[in-house]
Amino acid sequence: MPRRHMFLGLLVVFIWGTNFVVIDVGLDSFPPLLFAALRFTFVALPAVFFVGRPGAPWKLVALVGILQGAGQFGLLFVGMNLGVPPGLASLVLQGQAAFTVLFAFLVLRERPGPIVAAGVLAGVAGLTVIALGTGSVSLGALLVVVAAGACWAAANITTRIAKPENGFKLTIWSALAAPVPLTLLSLVFEGPERDRAALASLDWQGVGALAFTVVLSTIVAFGIWASLLRSNTASSVSAFSLLVPVVGMATAWLALGEVPTTADWIGGALILGGVVAVIRPDAFKAPGRITGDRPTANQGPDAASSDRTDTTPKAASAAPAGETKKG
């Protein structure tokens, strides 16, 4: 992975790590499903009228939006609303890295080499150590956040298959698929009265939390994330997410007083070691792929994919009959 991509991955880690405390603040102002619906509404509108199409099959674009919107964030917000604290949520959600490696093997036939396998195992071991050292949080709430991580992993693989021409455009257009199902779920499970009351009593704290999740956490961070997935293996990109709980737990410590335990420090060290192992440029072996390719100095994040052999099954990556990709 080129150094520029590593820097961008670390920038995303910082934004997403701090985002968990921001979500916790936002949940004081909104019911969880309404919060998620508003988030993706303002990601898509009005930007969709000014941003070109992502250059990917529409069915895959919509699937990414549903997996990230109703799946990843709808479930994450619900889990945190049920009592999973921000630091722990940032940790549990990163189970997506293991799910991504598994899904990449099953769907894309990306075979992790021994270094990747060891790195992922170290990361999972770190997550397990931290999880075992947590206090009393309901198993149901934790499983909701685990399911959110699985949806994130599925969105990673869908993005890899779609191969959008531009990650930012994919982020904007895919967001169109999320608000309607999230709003309907909010009306059913949270009720119209609760939603109206939240909107009527909206304050600057809620507005600020919503703005952070819309602009930085979604438009900026997911735009970068989608571009990295287009140019690198799904497993290598997802490895960066193992650093998110380190930032998330540190932010929760500073902002909310969630003091890390000894298990947190040990688990964090294992996670860092796992990420270092996984992002090695020679750590991946996929059919037909030449590992260690780097874009030239004047190429952007997406340029590396043009020099690589496409490992995505043609049946999965090709646009449907009669549909052409547009920029």
94/54: higher pLDDT: 54
User: Could you tell me where the beta strands, DSSP code E, fall in the chain?
Assistant: 111-112, 284-285
State yes or no: pLDDT of 140 exceeds 80.
Answer: yes
> Diameter of the chain by CA atoms?
58
Strands 284-285 and 111-112: antiparallel
State yes or no: pLDDT of 139 exceeds 80.
Answer: no
Give the separation between CA 185 and CA 318, rounded to whole angstroms.
Answer: 33
Nearest to 171 by CA among 245, 226, 231: 226
Model confidence over 2-60: pLDDT tens digits? Answer: 889 999 999 999 999 999 999 999 999 999 999 999 999 999 999 999 999 998 999 99
Nearest to 245 by CA among 97, 102, 121: 97
Residue 146, pLDDT score: 85
Alpha helices in 214-300 (DSSP H): 221-231, 234-239, 244-256, 262-278
Mean pLDDT of 142-156: 90
Residue 312, pLDDT score: 41
Residue 280, pLDDT score: 59
Residue 311, pLDDT score: 41
Per-residue CA distances from 257 to 86, 214, 250, 262 (Å): 11, 26, 10, 16
Model confidence over 47-61: pLDDT tens digits? Answer: 999 999 998 999 999
In the numeric block, the tokens 């952070």 are attached to: 212
Residue 142, pLDDT score: 82
Give the separation between CA 139 and CA 23, rounded to whole angstroms.
Answer: 21
pTM of the model: 0.75
Residue 135, pLDDT score: 66
The DSSP element (H or E) to which 59 belongs, if any, is: helix 58-66
Residue 287, pLDDT score: 43
Model confidence over 252-300: pLDDT tens digits? Answer: 989 888 877 787 778 778 877 777 776 655 544 444 443 334 343 334 3
- DSSP assignment of 131-160, as one string? HHT-----HHHHHHHHHHHHHHHHHHHHHH
Catalogue the long-range contacts made by 40-45 (C-beta closer than 8 Å, 24 or more residues apart): 40/65, 40/69, 40/73, 40/175, 40/178, 40/179, 40/182, 40/218, 41/175, 41/179, 42/210, 42/214, 43/171, 43/172, 43/175, 43/214, 43/218, 43/219, 44/172, 44/173, 44/175, 44/176, 44/178, 44/179
Residue 98, pLDDT score: 76
Lowest model confidence (mean pLDDT) among 95-99, 169-173, 202-206, 215-219:
95-99
Per-residue CA distances from 107 to 57, 80, 238, 321 (Å): 18, 30, 16, 21
Percent of the chain's residues with pLDDT above 70: 83
CB 300 within 8 A of CB 230: no
